[in-house]
Amino acid sequence: MSPPQTPTGNPAPDGAAMPLIELRHVSKSYATASGGHITVLDDISLEVRDGEMLALLGQSGSGKSTILRLMAGLTDPSQGAVLSHGDQLEGVNRSLAIVFQSFALYPWLTVADNVQVGLIQRRLDARREREEIAAALELIGLSGYENAYPKQLSGGMRQRVGIARAIVAQPEILCMDEAFSALDVLTAENLRREVVSLWRDSPHDALRSIFFVTHSIDEAVTMASRIVIISSNPGRIRHVIENTLPYPRDPQSDAFAAMVAQVHDAITSLVLPDEPAGAAATRPAQQPTAPAAGKPSAAAPATASSTRVESIPNVPVESILGLLEILSESDEVINIFDLGERIGKEFGDTIAIVKAAEMLDLVDTPKNEVMMTQVGWYFLAAPLPARKTLFRQAIMKLRLFQIICARLEESPNRRVPAAEVLEELATLLPYDQPGKLLETIVTWARYAGIFDFHQKTNMIVPQEEDEPSDDADEPAGADGAG
């Protein structure tokens, strides 16, 4: 089918077609182990309209998948309403089918049998089922693989099976939950274009729209007719961008690049906002403090920045140092989009590295530029011992490190159980994963020579009390290496 003109992004006027599915002022909260509540989504109003391909774009943890689950009727809102064709959604949304990131195939079933799962609700006879399965496999390029098992297929082919299973259910809305993120770049690019073709030329009249969640800007610009950008902690809709580029879209065109830049700008303004007007003029000039021996006092003077508890990105110190090296090679300034291409990372990962460096006053981010500060220049030029001291001074301006150092100072034996720190992190920053956050805190503190973690005793200790190297490890429950 050929989709109608791209919607305007405003609520449908009286007499216009009712949205296929709508979230109206929806909030979603969950109870925490401490007896409190954490709000994942806050006052979300979102429509999926007839004939559109809608992208929901946001970083990990922004609640994108929760929105999809609400639309599917797999979870209920804490506040607000979920409507299907204007009526309150009751139970599972039968007019919607989902393609998952993890393929979600049954490994003991053949390709044909996995696709047949999508036909359960339609209650067809055996002959008609065989015809529907054959047609779906032909449509997504898997004819001849009916008797193969998932383990015999590539990742791209397994995802095609998931798409075929969704198609045979003949949904009004095909939903995809980061369906291409587990695939290699070339396979993902090919499948995106095939899904667009499927949407535009589907033989099933039932398929009206496609809704997909993603963290990839290029994916959203390639596929979507409307792009909704959601912020994190809690999830809130911040921007709605109409994408009127004609299909098929050319990633090499100036118009495509301009749309990518527009979406980049919108996300950057959320994660790395410029200072309010006049802030730089009223802030006293800061010069790097000369490196000094010894450890900083935990009782730093109270300031607005030191009393606010702010999380830190899950970024290793080596990535921050690498950013400064790139800036040094680029005359101390680089466009953030060029930086992402240079380091070969997703835009969200690139922003996390820049955010970490900015929190340490090593870089500044006017508009779309990443610029080395005077502190960053001193840091990069300094020998290793002085670098560690400068890094120590920088992280001790962050409230998280002040809190842990204060607890070490207050402890009679200058040791704090990691479990207590994890519990406090979960209370202070409920949107973060405390294990991963503590892992990053410890790796930064190790580099700065402030404190460390002992695996055998499960204790946070000042670094001068370090045990042999085989005892130093990551906090219990944390993922990855430090």
Distance CA(133)–CA(169), nearest Å, equals 10
DSSP for 29-94 reads EEE-TTS-EEEEEEEEEEEE-TT-EEEEE--TTSSHHHHHHHHHTSS--SEEEEEETTEE--SS-T
Cis peptide before 316 (omega within 30 of 0): no
**Contact by Cβ (8 Å): 64, 80:** no
Q: Measured in whole angstroms, how far is the alpha carbon of residue 457 from the centre of its chain?
A: 34
Q: pLDDT (tens digit, 0 to 9) for every residue of the chain, 482 residues total?
A: 444 433 333 344 455 678 999 999 999 988 776 667 788 899 999 999 998 999 998 877 788 888 989 999 998 999 999 999 989 988 888 888 888 877 678 889 888 888 888 888 777 778 888 888 888 888 777 888 888 888 888 878 888 888 888 888 888 898 888 887 777 777 778 788 888 887 777 655 678 899 998 888 888 999 999 999 998 878 899 999 999 999 888 888 999 999 998 898 888 877 776 654 334 333 333 444 444 444 444 444 444 444 567 888 888 889 999 888 888 888 778 888 888 778 877 777 888 898 999 999 998 888 778 888 888 888 888 888 888 889 999 999 998 999 999 989 988 888 889 898 888 888 888 777 888 899 999 999 999 889 898 888 888 898 875 444 444 444 544 443 33
Please list, in sequence order, all residues whose beta carbon lies within 8 angstroms of the beta carbon of residue 109, skipping any fewer than 6 positions away. 117, 149, 150
**Contact by Cβ (8 Å): 383, 395:** no
Element (H, E) at 240: strand 236-242
DSSP for 378-410 reads HHHHS-HHHHHHHHHHHHTTSHHHHHHHHHHHH
User: For residue 128, what pLDDT is reported?
Assistant: 84
Distance CA(31)–CA(54), nearest Å, equals 30
**Contact by Cβ (8 Å): 180, 217:** no
Quote the pTM value. Answer: 0.68
User: For residue 433, what pLDDT is reported?
Assistant: 83
Strands, DSSP E only, in 66-179?
79-84, 87-88, 96-100, 173-177
User: For residue 1, what pLDDT is reported?
Assistant: 41
**Contact by Cβ (8 Å): 418, 453:** yes
User: For residue 127, what pLDDT is reported?
Assistant: 85
Amino acid letter at 442? V
User: For residue 332, what pLDDT is reported?
Assistant: 79
- Domains in the chain with CATH codes: 21-95+171-270 (3.40.50.300), 304-471 (1.10.10)
Sheet holding 53-57, edge to edge: 96-100, 173-177, 209-214, 53-57, 226-231, 236-242
